[in-house]
Amino acid sequence: MSGLLAGRVGVVTGAGQGIGLAIAHSFVEHGASVVLVDLNEDAVRAAAVELGPERATGLRCDVTSASDVQYILDQAGDRFGSVDVMVNNAGITRDATMRTMTEEDFDQVVDVHLKGTWHGTRLAAAVMREQRRGSIVNISSLSGKVGLAGQTNYSAAKAGIVGLSKAAAKELAHHGVRVNCVQPGLIATAMTAAMPQRVWDQKMAEIPMGRPGRPEEVASVCVFYASELSSYLTGTVTEVTGGRFM
Ligand code: NAP
């Protein structure tokens, strides 16, 4: 354990699997206590048991609900004493071209990613502002930088997360609260395993490093943003893409 996050308390949304689960593991490895939250309560409870009940707890939360997000922040405070790091990671895809995408597909994706991140950012900021310290890490996507066909909903939401984060960074800087974004490229998780082989192969061909990323490689950037190593960074975006669309 490096102790980079010793004594810190992190909340990670969408931590039942994939990138969020890897972030929770990395935070604990680096000395933090973590509240893992997800729609899938069984998954986060099991992950918390594995991480150790003294350092981790798993709770159900739908990030589109402000009261759910407030509840998990209150629980983090009651259980571990503060909220030092908030990672807004929960996500879904509903890919389709505009010819077939339904309004519901659009609304659901924007709700989970953009409104969910807004709830997580503003409600965590209210706690952090009082503490006069904190780091908020919002998970965007390369899709929000370049726009990907079949993802008008997701690209819009992920680009929106960057704008939201920069605006929040400006509002919060003088309170000692930093807000930064991570833009992963192709990362091997359940979300990308659902992709047709043809689409996967096409994305792989675009990656200079010639391989997909691992969830832990996104998590290590989140550890950097959560820690004092990034004490002079706010409103930034880090691409974790193996060089794709640099
Ligand atoms: P994942 O394996 O599908 O995990 C996402 C998690 O979020 C799931 O456990 C899911 O729960 C949870 N979730 C969905 N809606 C939620 C809600 N309303 N409230 C709380 N939790 C919710 O996805 P991932 O690949 O780890 O992606 C994590 C984040 O990275 C997402 O924001 C994604 O857009 C972003 N990202 C991923 C990639 C990639 O290549 N994998 C690339 C760029 C960006 P359920 O399973 O119960 O729905």
Q: How many domains does the chain have?
A: 1
CA 110 to chain centre: 15
Residue 205 has phi, psi (to 5 degrees) of -65, -20
Answer yes or no: is 64 within a domain. Answer: yes
Question: Which of 12, 141, 191 is the pocket-test mutation for ligand 1 (most atoms within 8 Å of CB)?
Answer: 191
pLDDT in tens, 70-129: 999 999 999 999 999 999 999 999 999 999 999 999 999 999 999 999 999 999 999 999
| Averaged pLDDT, 67-71 | 98
Check pocket membership of 218 for ligand 1, CB cut-off 6 A: no
Which residue has its alpha carbon closest to ligand 1 atom 31?
91
Is residue 71 among the annotated active site residues? no
Answer yes or no: is 89 within a domain. Answer: yes
What pLDDT is attached to residue 154?
A: 98
Percent of the chain with pLDDT over 70: 99
Answer yes or no: is 241 within a domain. Answer: no
The ligand 1 atom at the shortest distance from the C-alpha of residue 184 is 43
Percent of the chain with pLDDT over 90: 98
Residue 16 has phi, psi (to 5 degrees) of -75, -20
pLDDT in tens, 225-237: 999 999 999 999 9
Which residue has its alpha carbon closest to ligand 1 atom 41?
187
Check pocket membership of 105 for ligand 1, CB cut-off 6 A: no
Answer yes or no: is 104 within a domain. Answer: yes
Check pocket membership of 40 for ligand 1, CB cut-off 6 A: yes
pLDDT in tens, 14-52: 999 999 999 999 999 999 999 999 999 999 999 999 999
What pLDDT is attached to residue 2?
A: 65
CA atoms 122, 127, 131, 133: torsion sign: negative
Answer yes or no: is 147 within a domain. Answer: yes
The residue whose two tokens read 């009261």 is 67
What pLDDT is attached to residue 221?
A: 99
Query: Please, what is the average pLDDT of the chain?
Result: 97
Angle at 107 between CA 105 and CA 113, to 5 degrees: 100
CATH at residue 201: 3.40.50.720
Å from CA of 112 to ligand 1 middle: 9
Check pocket membership of 191 for ligand 1, CB cut-off 6 A: yes
Which residue has its alpha carbon closest to ligand 1 atom 23?
191
Answer yes or no: is 240 within a domain. Answer: no
Å from CA of 35 to ligand 1 middle: 16
Separation in Å, CA 229 to CA 4, 21, 86, 137, 217: 8, 22, 17, 14, 17
Q: pLDDT band for position 194 (50/70/90)?
A: confident
Separation in Å, CA 89 to CA 53, 158, 202, 233: 22, 11, 25, 19
**Non-local CB neighbours of 109 within 8 Å, separated by 6+ positions:** 92, 93, 94, 153, 154, 157
Domain assignment of residue 77, given as a range? 9-232
Check pocket membership of 112 for ligand 1, CB cut-off 6 A: yes
Answer yes or no: is 129 within a domain. Answer: yes
The ligand 1 atom at the shortest distance from the C-alpha of residue 92 is 14
List helix spans (H) across 30-95: 41-51, 66-80
pLDDT in tens, 137-168: 999 999 999 999 999 999 999 999 999 999 99
Predicted confidence (pLDDT) at residue 1 exceeds the cutoff of 70? no
Give me the amino acid identity at 244: R
Answer yes or no: is 148 within a domain. Answer: yes
Residue 231 CB burial class (10 angstroms; 0-12, 13-18, ≥19):
exposed
CA atoms 3, 5, 25, 76: torsion sign: positive
Look at residues 188, 208, 214 and name the one whose alpha carbon lies nearest to residue 200.
Answer: 188
Check pocket membership of 19 for ligand 1, CB cut-off 6 A: yes
